[in-house]
Amino acid sequence: MRSDTPDAADTSEAADGPAEADAPDATDAADAADAVTDSTSSDAAAEAPSRAELAARVEELEDAIAAATADDDGKKMSIIATKGTLDMAYPPLILASTAAAFGYEVTVFHTFWGLDILHEERSKNLKLSSVGNPNMPVPNVVGALPGMDRVTTSMMEKKIDDNDTATIEELIDTSLEMGVEFQACQMTIDLMDYDEDDFYDGVTTGVGAATAIQDLAEADIQLLV
Amino acid sequence: MSDAFDITETLDVKGASCPMPVVQTKSAIDELETGDVLEVLATDPGSMSDIDGWAAGTEGVELLDQAAGDDVYKHYVRRTE
């Protein structure tokens, strides 16, 4: 029946006739429902495009798909990095470098404390907070004592070293080599009173939220870390 | 296992942990020619799943074989384009 629809459209005036004639004959609810259905389908048939119109539409859509895929031959990932503690500096860098290995075009937009990851000097001294994380080996009340952040950071740094886990600097260098684009939020640079020279070579400065939105809109994977 | 193909080059990433085995494998395979086979030696147990997943999701590479030894995990990747 369905495949006949385009043909039915050509004889839509004839199709309309019986449907309208059926409706008044309906005496119970079921018949009325059938009549409504019949009437709807014949209306649809009346409005259904012809084969030629469908063929033209298919061609139009095929062109649109071809244009869309031609424009999007590379996979993209966009990450927004907002945190600057030692533990939270890792995920965006690990995911960025790995995605680059998969062939993704990766941008990481660093804003607020996330900017410290790109700061050549500060990135080597990122701290681990000793409070606020119940998985820490010290109770929060002890963690809040002066100097405890330094203790927990040293513990973490030792673990990183013992385990041969890459350092933040190594991950940044590797990511840059792999073609990852690191962007430093200009508003945060001004806010923190940083200088453009404070960042690793290859970091993009002078970018704002609109750049991030553009990257996010084009990306296959978007992450806020 | 390795007699089905000739190893062009060996990459030693023993000691390195995530994400370095995958990242360095990618860099090393980029240096090879089409058809070449890279042998990757890793101690990271996660490399078994990671290199498998990376090869499946990356164009131009094919995972030929993986072998989990006592301490060393071996991976054989061919560059296909």
Residue A167 touches chain B, beta carbons under 8 Å: no
Is the bond preceding residue B21 a cis peptide, omega within 30 degrees? no
Question: Do A110 and A151 fall within a single domain?
Answer: yes
Catalytic residue among B7, B18, B56, B68: B18
Residues A183 and A152 in one domain: yes
Domain residue limits at A38: 2-70
Which CATH number covers residue B10?
3.30.110.40
Contact A166 B16 (CB under 8 A): yes
pLDDT above 70: residue A40: no
CA atoms within 13 A on the CB side of A144: 5
Domain boundary among A27, A53, A70: A70
Domain that holds residue B29: 2-79
pLDDT value at position A200?
A: 96
Looking at the 3D structure of chain B, how many domains does it have? 1
Annotated catalytic residue B18: yes
> What's the full length of chain B, in residues?
81
Based on the fold, state whether residues A78 and A64 are members of the same structural domain: no
Q: What is the maximal distance between C-alpha atoms in chain B?
A: 33
Q: Quick count: other Cβ atoms within 10 Å of Cβ A92?
A: 27
Nearest CA in chain B to A74: B59
**Both A94 and A168 in a single domain?**
yes
Through-space distance between the first and last CA atoms of chain A, rounded to whole angstroms: 54
Among chain A residues, CA nearest to B53: A102
A102 contact B CB<8A: yes
Q: What is the mean pLDDT of residues A190-195?
A: 94
Claim to verify: residue A34 and residue A129 sit in the same structural domain? no
Q: Which stretches of chain B sit within 8 Å of chain A by CB?
A: 15-20, 22-23, 25-27, 54, 57-60
Comparing CB atoms, the residue among B16, B18, B58 nearest residue A102 is B58
Cβ neighbours of B16 in A, within 8 Å: 164, 166
CA distances from A102 to A75, A120, A174, B44, B62 (A): 9, 27, 14, 19, 13
Q: Where a domain ends, among A70, A104, A128?
A: A70
Does residue A51 sit in the same domain as residue A132? no
How far CA A214 is from CA of A82, A93, A176, A179, in Å, comes to 18, 21, 21, 19
Q: What's the alpha-carbon Rg for chain B, to the nearest Å?
A: 11
pLDDT at A70: 64
Task: Say if residue A21 is in the same domain as residue A45.
Answer: yes
The percent of chain A in helix, strand and coil, each rounded to the nearest 5, is 60, 10, 25
Lowest mean pLDDT among A134-138, A166-170, A183-187, B55-59: A134-138
Residues of B in contact with A165 (CB under 8 A): 17
Pair (A183, A219) in one structural domain = yes
| A84/A43 same-domain check | no
| Number of domain units in chain A | 2
User: Is pLDDT larger for residue A41 or for residue B44?
Assistant: B44
Residue A118 CB neighbours (<10 A): 28
Comparing A33-47, A162-176, B51-65, the range with the smallest average pLDDT is A33-47
pLDDT of residue A192: 94
Say whether pLDDT at B48 is over 90. yes
Percent of chain A at pLDDT exceeding 70: 77
Q: Are residues A38 and A115 in the same domain?
A: no
Q: Among the listed ranges A26-30, A122-126, A221-225, which one has the minimum average pLDDT value? A: A26-30
CATH of the domain at A202: 3.40.1260.10
Q: Which of B14, B24, B26 best probes binding to A when mutated, by most A CB atoms within 10 angstroms?
A: B26
Assess whether pLDDT exceeds 60 at residue A71: no
Query: Which of these three, A17, A41, A70, is where a domain ends?
Result: A70
* Residue B4 clears pLDDT 90, i.e. is over it: no
Interface test with A, best of B14, B17, B18, B20 (most A CBs within 10 A): B20
A16 and A123 fall within a common domain? no
Residue among B12, B18, B22, B23 with most chain A CBs within 10 A, to mutate: B23
Q: Are residues A194 and A83 in the same domain?
A: yes
How confident is the model over A126-139, as pLDDT tens digits?
999 989 888 888 88
Q: Which residue of B has its CA nearest to A160?
A: B17
